[in-house]
Chains A and B, each alone.
Chain A
Amino acid sequence: MIIMGTFYWLATEAAMGEMTESAGGFGLNFDILEANLINLSIVIALVVYFGRGFLGKILSERQSAIATAIQEAEQRKRKAAEELAIEQQKLAQSQQEAQRIRDAAAVSAKAAKEEILARVAQEIQRLRETASQDTTSSQERAILELRQQVAAQAIKQVEAELSTKLGNNQTAQQQLVDRSIALLER
């Protein structure tokens, strides 16, 4: 029993020992050959040397390509801005021109309006004058007519009166004839 126990103890001890040995903990291993350090450094040096050459060329080409692209784009932008400025200037000019034309149009419209108004006023004046002339002439005509009528009537009346007064009156007729002869003799 004791032997068995000793065996057990030994076995566990051995196991423990193996475990502790294998579980050596974290650490650094400076065995240069085992860590393959020389080969790795050669490989790294080669990679860095060729990689730098190869990748460096690609990257610098890429960089310069981007730089030229950006430069071109900026140049285009500048040119476009210049063109924009020119076009804006032209726009301003034409707007000015338009304003000027509009002003001139307003002025000429005003002048035309005034001229037309003046002409119309003249026309109205003229029309009014002719109208008034017409009215005065028709008035005069009417007055003349009336006068003629009145004169005619007056003559008629006088003739009627004359015939009534002179027709049956020998003496009056005699007197009138005598007076008329006397008048002729003078």
Chain B
Amino acid sequence: MMHQSLNLLPLAKLEVGHHLYWQLGNLKIHGQVFITTWIVMGLLLIAAIAATRNIERIPKGIQNLMEYALEYVRDLAKNQIGEKEYRPWVPFVGTLFLFIFVANWSGALVPWKLIHLPEGELAAPTNDINTTVALALLVSLAYFYAGFRKRGLGYFAKYIEPTPILLPIAILEDFTKPLSLSFRLFGNILADELVVGVLVLLVPLFVPLPVMMLGLFTSAIQALVFATLAAAYIGEAMEGHGGEHEAH
């Protein structure tokens, strides 16, 4: 009975798990994610080019805005990684933050449903687990690279600190970090879009507004959380655990 009534509701029109598949060699890729990712990338590129095309001494307009964003990202990286090492990581952390932020907000602000796809629907790129896993794995690679570059093989010392008993947990951490990063972002964005979608299907007007505003807030926070955690992991990998570091 329940099942039937659910089927009767227009809720069934929510297209979760439907994708616009593109064939790339042996791979089936989610086309709608690529489309929105390219759009987000294009937006960021246009903003960056527009901001740097006509650089003035006293920043105006978009240059001012992008400089403010850069300052924000730089402070974020500086706070998490530390004054000494943060500089080379500003581009990475900044790219993560800006991409995720714009992607999330594009999902919350752009009426993607105006465009009808053969299958699936356009949404925020971070709405797809593949995007967030890719970003999280990039973060993993980045902090391993940072750790090895800074401390060489001494990086492995952090697995048996402060005591080798914690070795399994330390190893487990390397798996849980990307897992939690990717699922946190994916879950938040997908949940937000689903809630909005369901509410829109139930009550099309005005009722979804608070949730949508909340979604905007969540999206921004999630971008910030992701970038902050990425920077924190990188900083942690470089500095090692306190006691051992002090002993040197």
Residues in chain A within 8 A of chain B (CB atoms): 22-30, 33-40, 42-44, 46-47, 55, 58-59, 62-63, 66-67, 70
Contact = CB atoms under 8 A, between A and B. Distances in A.
A26 to B, nearest CB: 6
B237 to A, nearest CB: 33
A67 B118 contact: no
B58 A28 contact: no
4 interchain residue pairs of minimum CB distance: A35-B113, A29-B116, A23-B118, A33-B204
Nearest to B201: A34
Contacts, number: 80
Contact of B60 (A28, A55, A63): A63
B209 A47 contact: no
30 contacts: A23-B119, A24-B118, A26-B118, A27-B115, A27-B116, A28-B114, A28-B116, A29-B113, A29-B114, A29-B116, A30-B114, A33-B204, A36-B196, A36-B204, A37-B111, A37-B114, A39-B206, A39-B212, A40-B110, A40-B111, A42-B209, A43-B109, A43-B213, A47-B216, A59-B68, A62-B59, A63-B59, A63-B60, A66-B58, A66-B59
B108 A43 contact: yes
Contacts of A26: 115-118
A172 to B, nearest CB: 143
Interface of B: 57-60, 64-65, 67-68, 108-111, 113-119, 196, 200, 204-206, 208-209, 212-213, 216
A18 to B, nearest CB: 12
A23 B119 CA distance: 6
Contact of A39 (B58, B115, B208): B208
B57 A70 contact: yes
Given A47-B216, A62-B68, A67-B58, A39 B205 contact: yes
A35 B200 CA distance: 9
A38 B203 CA distance: 12
